[in-house]
Structure 1
Amino acid sequence: MSRPREDRAGGAGSPAGSGPAARHTDDPAVGPARHLGSVGRMPRWLKIGTAVVSILLIGVIAFGAYWAIRLQSNITKASLGAGSDKTESALDNSRDRMQILILGSDTRDGKNSQYGGADDSTGYGHSDVMMLMDISADNKRVNVVSFPRDLLVDIPKCIDQKTKQAFPAQKDVMINAAMSEAGIGCAVDTVNKLTGLEIDHFMMADFNSVKELSNTVGGVDVCISDAVYDPDSGLRLPKGTSKVEGEQALAFLRARHAFADGGDLGRIRAQQAFLSSLVRKIRDDGTLGNPAKTLQIADVVTRNLTIDEGLASVPTLLTVANRLKNIDVSKVAFVAVPTVPAVSDVNRLEPAEPAASQLFAAMRKDIDLTDPTATPSPSVSPDVSAAPSAEPTPSEVATTYDKAVQPVTVANGSGVPARPQEIIQTLTAGGFTQLARLAAPPVAATAVYFGAGYDAVARDVAALLGIPAARVLPAAGVNGVQVYLGSDPVGGTASKDAAVDLPSDIVNQTAGDVVCQQANPALITP
């Protein structure tokens, strides 16, 4: 027997036979007419189909939610800077030019404890790998610039964003120690200071990430000229091409003595060759077009990754990955900062001038390093590629320093022996008397380079000599100010779109090049 349905007010519902359908018959007890009842029924096949679609839809939503939550929970975040002021406008991660500092940490805790004790890495650890990935606004090219970990640089004052402890600025410190006291943000600030750029994001991975990622993609092909064994890293490879994964992939990237002359530059070239091979592997296997494989890689990467807050969401990471998936591998350029043995310590490196400053200037101008004569790609946002300190404008304000004690060197790269004397006379007449000269390799364009704290002096020197402000450049290896004379007449102006004067061998390789590493003769095995 049916019970009356309760309405929202708590009373009895309408009789079953009442309502519009019941009006088709004079007898309320009969119910609705037959032809109206058929409209209310759903065919069996449609019911089954609807149920299946509903189950699939719920499954897809649940699957997507599971992976979104899992990947998001994997992510570890840290501050992008360590107290430096940001001058650029907010970045559109999907459309703007983007620079990401990629770091490999040598921290020996957790899963990395097998690679040494806690004493092997202090504080936040050192950056075992440091690369700056620069993605163009049109997504047509990528520059990847490696910084040798033995490179001596000036580290700015940094504040640990967790403890708020301040650390004073340091001079002539290995760049891999920049993050050891105040964290990753200090490494970002140091690279900003060195290059004149303003980095948008960072990604830091540890030893374990290399092993897991190489396993996930099924190994990476590498090549070496001779059979080699490096006891420090554990790398053992036969002559020719080998597929490395897991521990051997990590050993290949960590090996410091296995390549070239056993120095850091040989290690950098090997790392770049590994990444080039990894890029080709992912492209040729269609990995980014395979959702299951992409999720596997995303899971591996996010489990072992520390990134800044602006990048720390799954949608943002997917946006960056989507920008990279269709780039021509021949337009992925791998570069190393030009260096020479440091004057203060021949076992360390310092930027080679003018090549290093020319590289940084080309990066600030968003130049295609594989084709420096090409027109720079248009940016969607206003041009903010150059930091204000990197492209100074001559000031009309009276100087507040003593010109007579400012160190100014004239480096003669003009090929004309008498040229420096002309410049020295002009500088002396302008009040600069602390002058020196030196011979230098020939260059085409005259430029003024300055060390930390000498930017105002450099601006005035350039204005006195009629050198365009665009050619006044910071240089970590310069003490004071250096006027590097080129074959052009001082006082001439350079076209805004003029080709950047870069060394012809500035690009080590592109991701499309298959390069075989030269084995260190001291470690070659039979």
Structure 2
Amino acid sequence: MGRTRDNREYGADSAAGNGPVSRHADDTAVGVARHLGSHRRMPGWLKVTAALLTVLVVGGLGFAGYWYFRLQSNITTAPLTAGDGTASDVNDSSDRMQILILGSDTRDGKNSEYGGADESTGYGKSDVMMLMDISADNKRVSVISFPRDLLVDIPQCTDPQTKRVYPARSGVMINEAMGEAGIGCAVDTVNKLTGLEIDHFMMADFNAVKELSNTVGGVDVCISDAVYDPDSQLRLPAGTSAVQGEMALAFLRTRHAFADGGDLGRIKAQQGFLSSLTRKIKDDGTLSDPAKMLKIADVVTQNLTVDNGLASVPSLVTIGNRLKNIDISKVAFVAVPTTPAVTDLNRLQIAEPAGSQLFAALRGDVDLTDPTAPATPSPKPTETTGPSAVPTETAPPVAPYNKALQPVTVANGTGVTGRSQEIVQALVAGGFTQAGQFAANPVAQSVIYYGPDFADVASDVAALLGIPAAQVQPAPAIPGVQVYLGTDFASGTSYGAAAALPENIVNQTAGDTVCQQANPVLIVRD
């Protein structure tokens, strides 16, 4: 018997409970109807949760975008060099990296309260100059300070804005290097002095110090006696004090409050300040705290100028990540060895051979806290094996020659007086009795040049002195063989032999708490 059609079956009367919805819901074999959701409202708690998640996601993206834009817009840039140099191709996340850190004494803008604009012409002078060297394995950092009174040779530099070319100068204070042609000229000057190739620079002004010290809540410093310096307005009691703002700036700027009132005492005080700041940031977990890092990043980037290769927030974050896990006992603070300048006793010059030994150690990636430790290993070159390898042809035998008749000269480009005589003596002892010597312009790397028909002699001279074959080059204008000594061969008679670093070259590590010696002239009594 057939059933009559009931319009309610299709939901005309939901109260009846006998339509398809009811049947599908009751029939577990069929499962829940696909159109069930269109007939039931979303629960209130689910709506609230969904809304909150949407707000959090959108808000988070907006927050991140805001801070990225803010930090990126804070950054000021300048070219890395002021000469023929090119941008560094270093991998910021995995390669050894060297960053020149500069403190500008410019008095414009926020710094106008520290003097008139006439006190810092052009780009200003570098009030602080430090080279930060980060090892490839991120296990150690060396921070090398250059006294502002150090006399150096400044290479030819071109102003990146005006394109004006400034000629090379000799015997000029290192803090004047960027005054005419900009920060890149300071980079070129340090490259020339050390034989290194700096990858990046960071320059901050007076305001950066004040704001950073305020942001971290003060930095602990220690001094042996109560002191007052009327020039910088530094006033501190004996013992440990937390300095921030103007007093932190005065601590770093004072030229007379420490030791004998000279630049070296000032450098040690600056290194002590940075050591304490490093400990505080590490102890507070700042480098692992996004909120704290944002505050510091905002303060720093507002007062920072970097090279074009470092001019992005990700690049700065990469460097921060490399530094956060380094053992503070492996953060070494060093001052370039100096002595009173011969031309002006109120200025300084590199002390030799200590200066050359330090620069050679830096070029060799030596751990300054443990010079006997092996350098960070470099990737090994891929060896060619198998049938694709091309056999090397055997060179024809060379007829013997008389060493005593060969013209060999030694060019002293080490900057160390009398250095060529040591090498001449080694050559004479090795049978090259016609060796001569002369002074030459300083160079970073030692090279042996040879004229026509003297390749075999040059090879034997290189073997005698331990100079690699890759540094033996033909030079048609050379009569015989010329050993051009560089700053990488400033001591000893065997190239590449580990040269002893000057005693106590490391002033302190970031793990050391050092109390500065007050200048007796400025000690005050309560």
Same fold (TM over 0.5): yes
Q: Is the 8 A contact 1:337 1:356 kept in 2?
A: yes
What CA distance in whole angstroms lies between the structure 2 residues aligned with 1:158 and 1:428?
Answer: 42
Q: Is the 8 A contact 1:154 1:170 kept in 2?
A: yes
- What amino acid is the match of 2:65? A
- The residue correspondences of 1:436-515 to structure 2 (distance < 5 A) are 451-452=441-442, 463=461, 466-469=464-467, 474-475=486-487, 486=492, 490=493, 493=494, 499-515=498-514
What CA distance in whole angstroms lies between the structure 1 residues aligned with 2:487 and 2:105?
Answer: 28
| 1:503 Cα deviation from its structure 2 partner | 1.3
Tell me the residue number matched to 2:189: 190
- What amino acid is the match of 1:220? V
Distance 1:411 1:327, change over 3 A: same
| 1:452 Cα deviation from its structure 2 partner | 3.3
What CA distance in whole angstroms lies between the structure 2 residues aligned with 1:264 and 1:371?
Answer: 27
What CA distance in whole angstroms lies between the structure 2 residues aligned with 1:454 and 1:36?
Answer: 79
Distance 1:116 1:128, change over 3 A: same
**1:57 corresponds to 2:57:** yes
Q: Deviations over 1:305-343 (max 9, x none)?
A: 000111111111111101101110000000011011111
Partner of 2:465: helix, strand, or coil?
Answer: coil
Q: Deviations over 1:459-482 (max 9, x none)?
A: 689948943337976459xxxxxx
- The residue correspondences of 1:327-406 to structure 2 (distance < 5 A) are 327-379=326-378
- What amino acid is the match of 2:300? V
- What amino acid is the match of 2:242? K
- The residue correspondences of 1:102-501 to structure 2 (distance < 5 A) are 102-379=101-378, 422=425, 429-430=433-434, 432=436, 451-452=441-442, 463=461, 466-469=464-467, 474-475=486-487, 486=492, 490=493, 493=494, 499-501=498-500
Q: Is the 8 A contact 2:424 2:436 kept in 1?
A: no
Q: Deviations over 1:287-320 (max 9, x none)?
A: 1222111111000000000001111111111111
Distance 1:524 1:59, change over 3 A: same
What CA distance in whole angstroms lies between the structure 2 residues aligned with 1:367 and 1:499?
Answer: 10
Q: Is the 8 A contact 2:448 2:462 kept in 1?
A: no
Tell me the residue number matched to 1:79: 79
| 1:87 Cα deviation from its structure 2 partner | 9.1
Alignment RMSD (CA, Å): 3.4
Distance 1:424 1:469, change over 3 A: closer
What CA distance in whole angstroms lies between the structure 2 residues aligned with 1:227 and 1:205?
Answer: 29
What CA distance in whole angstroms lies between the structure 1 residues aligned with 2:92 and 2:266?
Answer: 31
Q: Is the 8 A contact 2:408 2:432 kept in 1?
A: no
Partner of 1:276: helix, strand, or coil?
Answer: helix
Distance 1:403 1:469, change over 3 A: closer
- What amino acid is the match of 1:288? L
- What amino acid is the match of 1:452? P
- What amino acid is the match of 1:38? L
What CA distance in whole angstroms lies between the structure 2 residues aligned with 1:381 and 1:190?
Answer: 32
| 1:53 Cα deviation from its structure 2 partner | 0.5
Q: Is the 8 A contact 1:410 1:420 kept in 2?
A: no
What CA distance in whole angstroms lies between the structure 2 residues aligned with 1:376 and 1:259?
Answer: 35
Which moves more between the two structures, 26-35 or 44-53? Answer: 26-35
Partner of 2:436: helix, strand, or coil?
Answer: coil
Tell me the residue number matched to 2:476: none
Distance 1:102 1:137, change over 3 A: same
Q: Is the 8 A contact 2:428 2:435 kept in 1?
A: no
Tell me the residue number matched to 1:446: none
- What amino acid is the match of 2:320? A
Distance 1:140 1:419, change over 3 A: closer
What CA distance in whole angstroms lies between the structure 1 residues aligned with 2:76 and 2:312?
Answer: 10
What CA distance in whole angstroms lies between the structure 2 residues aligned with 1:465 and 1:359?
Answer: 25
| 1:44 Cα deviation from its structure 2 partner | 3.0
Q: How many residues align?
A: 453
Higher-Rg structure is: 2
Q: Is the 8 A contact 2:446 2:485 kept in 1?
A: no
What CA distance in whole angstroms lies between the structure 1 residues aligned with 2:508 and 2:444?
Answer: 35
What CA distance in whole angstroms lies between the structure 1 residues aligned with 2:380 and 2:66?
Answer: 35
Distance 1:522 1:79, change over 3 A: same
Partner of 1:153: helix, strand, or coil?
Answer: strand
| 1:379 Cα deviation from its structure 2 partner | 4.2
- What amino acid is the match of 1:52? L
What CA distance in whole angstroms lies between the structure 2 residues aligned with 1:326 and 1:226?
Answer: 35
What CA distance in whole angstroms lies between the structure 2 residues aligned with 1:500 and 1:117?
Answer: 47
Tell me the residue number matched to 1:38: 36
What CA distance in whole angstroms lies between the structure 2 residues aligned with 1:281 and 1:472?
Answer: 48
| 1:232 Cα deviation from its structure 2 partner | 1.0
| 1:86 Cα deviation from its structure 2 partner | 3.9
Which segments of 5 or more consecutive residues in structure 1 lack a partner in the other structure? Answer: 1-23, 383-401, 436-449, 477-482
Q: Is the 8 A contact 2:275 2:512 kept in 1?
A: yes
What CA distance in whole angstroms lies between the structure 1 residues aligned with 2:165 and 2:61?
Answer: 47
Q: Is the 8 A contact 2:356 2:487 kept in 1?
A: yes
- What amino acid is the match of 1:432? G
Partner of 1:469: helix, strand, or coil?
Answer: coil
What CA distance in whole angstroms lies between the structure 1 residues aligned with 2:318 and 2:412?
Answer: 48
- What amino acid is the match of 2:436? F
What CA distance in whole angstroms lies between the structure 2 residues aligned with 1:500 and 1:57?
Answer: 58
Partner of 1:53: helix, strand, or coil?
Answer: helix
What CA distance in whole angstroms lies between the structure 2 residues aligned with 1:210 and 1:26?
Answer: 80
| 1:519 Cα deviation from its structure 2 partner | 0.6
TM-score (norm 1): 0.78
What CA distance in whole angstroms lies between the structure 2 residues aligned with 1:98 and 1:293?
Answer: 25
Distance 1:473 1:281, change over 3 A: farther
- What amino acid is the match of 1:197? L
What CA distance in whole angstroms lies between the structure 1 residues aligned with 2:113 and 2:245?
Answer: 14
- What amino acid is the match of 1:522? V
What CA distance in whole angstroms lies between the structure 2 residues aligned with 1:297 and 1:381?
Answer: 39
Q: Is the 8 A contact 1:94 1:323 kept in 2?
A: yes
Q: Is the 8 A contact 1:138 1:379 kept in 2?
A: no
Which segments of 5 or more consecutive residues in structure 2 lack a partner in the other structure? Answer: 1-6, 22-32, 382-406, 451-457, 469-482
What CA distance in whole angstroms lies between the structure 1 residues aligned with 2:214 and 2:147?
Answer: 27
Distance 1:421 1:279, change over 3 A: closer
- What amino acid is the match of 2:257? A
